[in-house]
Amino acid sequence: MTVMEWLKALLTGSIALVTIVITRICFLILFPSQTRTARDPASKCKVAVFLGSGGHTTEMLQLLSALPVQRYSPRVYVVASGDQFSQTKAAEAEGRRGEEVDREAEKGGKDDFQFVTLPRARNVHQAWLSTPLTVLIAFIACIKHIVLPSFSRSAQSGKQQHSSPFADLILMNGPGTCVPIVASVWILRFFGLPSPRMVYVESFARVRSLSLTAKILRYFVDRFVVQWNECNVRGSFYRGWLV
């Protein structure tokens, strides 16, 4: 085989692979119900909450406080590396939550939550030239926590799984580290493995326009929520202020 023939074969294979991937993703977007397992509405829901630091964390903890504790348990708090503020605030919220619920019903209180730390996809004022590298590092960490446990459990059991080991539901409201999280969930969906539902709530601070993260993710999450009518774009869910 000549070099030219080898290059043509490589190009043909690459085009075929890209076509298959795009077709699969389009199918998942257009027919999401065909790839999801129905859940019992009364069953417990393991929820993962991404805390984006600062105001993002405050808003997300307020949203979480409106959910029934006993049903949305256990809880996984996903924080960026070095974000001690979010971890402290989440621990304080869990402490208050533990005082409000029946200890016997909770069966352990504080044992019903944990923290997962991810590298930041992009730091404040970070140069855009170096952003792809930090996004890749964050993506690899997301694969470790979200994707690999599902593949491992599926390989070990050999049976069809009905839930993701990481979580049943992921709540997000920015910032950029949400992108590799969503991408990791889509890897599970691409291979037909159980994946968490994803809900993105745009920050209350976004009054007139969507954030860059929201513009990227609005087509790839299961529910895209905005809090201002000016941001009520096609496909979004708007019911006024949530925080």
b/e sequence 164-176, b meaning 16+ C-beta within 10 Å? bbbbbbbbbbbbb
For residues 204 and 240, the answer to whether their CB atoms sit within 8 Å is no
b/e sequence 231-240, b meaning 16+ C-beta within 10 Å? beeeebeeee
Total number of domains in the chain: 1
User: Quick one: CA dihedral 186, 239, 47, 81, positive or negative?
Assistant: positive
CATH code of residue 208: 3.40.50.2000
Q: What are phi and psi of 205, to 5 degrees?
A: -70, -15
Confidence (pLDDT) at 108: 47
Neighbour-count burial of 223, counting CB atoms closer than 10 A to its CB (0-12 exposed, 13-18 middle, 19+ buried)? middle
Give a yes or no: residue 204 inside a domain: yes
List C-alpha distances in Å: 112 to 73, 104, 190.
6, 13, 30
Give a yes or no: residue 76 inside a domain: yes
* pTM given for the model: 0.85
Task: Compute how many other C-beta atoms are within 10 angstroms of the C-beta atom of residue 128.
Answer: 7
Give a yes or no: residue 224 inside a domain: yes
Give a yes or no: residue 3 inside a domain: no
Confidence (pLDDT) at 6: 83
For residues 179 and 61, the answer to whether their CB atoms sit within 8 Å is no
Confidence (pLDDT) at 210: 95
Give a yes or no: residue 162 inside a domain: yes
Confidence (pLDDT) at 39: 65
Give a yes or no: residue 15 inside a domain: no
Confidence (pLDDT) at 109: 46
Confidence (pLDDT) at 26: 84
List C-alpha distances in Å: 185 to 5, 125, 144, 178.
38, 28, 12, 11
Residue partners of 63: CB distance under 8 A and separation at least 6 = 171, 173, 201, 242, 243
Give a yes or no: residue 29 inside a domain: no
**pLDDT tens across the length of the chain (243 residues):** 687 888 888 888 888 888 988 888 888 877 776 555 556 677 889 999 999 888 999 999 999 999 988 889 999 999 999 999 999 999 999 988 776 655 545 454 455 899 999 999 888 778 888 889 999 999 999 999 999 999 988 877 766 667 889 999 999 997 889 999 999 999 999 998 999 999 999 999 999 999 999 999 999 999 999 999 999 998 899 989 998
Q: Reduced to 3 states, what is the DSSP secondary structure of residue 9?
A: helix
Q: Find the domain containing 115 and state its range.
A: 44-238
Confidence (pLDDT) at 38: 59
DSSP H helices, the chain, are 3-30, 54-65, 84-100, 103-106, 131-142, 148-157, 178-190, 212-217
